[in-house]
Amino acid sequence: MATQAPIESVLITNKLTKNFGSVVAVDHIDLDIRRGEIFGFLGPNGAGKSTTIRMLLGLIRPTSGSASIFGKDMRKYGNEIRRGIGYLPGELALYENLSARQYFEYTAALYGVDNIDFALAISDRLKISDLDASIGSLSQGNKQKVGIVQSLLHKPALVILDEPTNALDPLMRHELYEILLLARDEGMTVFFSSHVLAEAERICDRVAIIREGQLIRVGRVDELKETAPKRLLVRFAEPVEPQSFADLAGVTKAGPGKDGRVELMVRENLDEVLRVVTQHQIVDFDAQDLSLEEIFLGYYETEGDASVDLAEALDLEPRELAVEQS
């Protein structure tokens, strides 16, 4: 029997932590990012995404823990490691007196790249309005495109993108997704932070969810969706009290839905739940998978939030969940 090649880890963190005084911004994060995958780092503003990225790049020192990239410790081999990384910061600052073309030539020279042909090809796909106009005269969307191109032009083994679709219109977001998917297929590892769940669901192989500096879940998108509850929407011929289903094993939420329907969240024991439901005359029935956004919200909603019912339905206790490195 042929043996499977071992999975190559490109980026590993070990209990990576950053405190700012008494504030714990990043709390003992363990990550293992593999070669040739698109990895989404998900959380709202203030969750600790950008702080984590800055530690990964050696721009700030961790309070404790470590990060290694390409098998080398970032604190010891930072300059060497950064040559193989592309980076788009969340707060993008460019040389606005240069044109995009001049900026690409400058960046290429820093990385020892002989020409900017690849940069021009990506620029064409992203439709940067004028490569010879000063960057300062460009729209915010075009500045973002320039930042994306400079992060990719040297074909890095690892590209780290902090909120890359900021200021991009839907068509350009789609084009960026296609560029990143092609880069992944050619062996590049893509690590990007985002609070836009639709893009993560579309292109990510795996995602991590961070909340208040803590990593609360890591897994493949399809696995996260498979392990989430099903939503059942049922319209009965006669009024049925939703709470009559609340005590069934596997039901984590039972309540009124839209248009007079009963809404049930069912984590397990689906056959028995359906047996009880079908004892009533049904007019309409729909079973739905939760979207990644709803799963994400399930990890984020807390008491006092408008959607606390969803968190209760998902039966989630973030601090008790073991990180899954699937």
The domain spanning residue 290 has which CATH number?
3.30.70.100
Q: Say whether both 111 and 128 belong to one domain.
A: yes
Rounded average pLDDT over 190-208: 86
| Parent domain of 229 | 225-317
In angstroms, the Cα distances linking 288 to 26, 137, 199 are 35, 47, 20
For residue 201, the one-letter residue type is E
| Residue 325 covered by a domain | no
Under 8 Å between Cβ of 99 and 135 = yes
Q: Say whether both 152 and 116 belong to one domain.
A: yes
Q: Say whether both 162 and 124 belong to one domain.
A: yes
What digits encode the pLDDT tens for the residues 119-153?
999 999 999 989 999 999 999 999 999 999 999 99
The rounded distance, in Å, linking the Cα atoms of 218 and 208 is 4
The domain tally of the chain equals 2
Both structure tokens of 227: 């392990």
| Residue 323 covered by a domain | no
**Position with higher pLDDT, 198 vs 310:** 198
Can you give the CATH number for the domain in which 51 is found?
A: 3.40.50.300
HSE-up of residue 95 (Cα within 13 Å, Cβ side):
11
Tell me if residue 291 falls in helix, strand or coil: coil
Both structure tokens of 245: 């289903």
Which of 206, 221, 236 is the last residue in one of the domains? 221
- What is the side-by-side order of every strand in the sheet holding 282-289? 251-256, 262-266, 230-236, 282-289
What digits encode the pLDDT tens for the residues 211-238?
889 998 898 888 777 777 888 999 999 9
What digits encode the pLDDT tens for the residues 8-54?
899 999 999 999 999 999 999 999 999 999 999 988 888 899 999 99
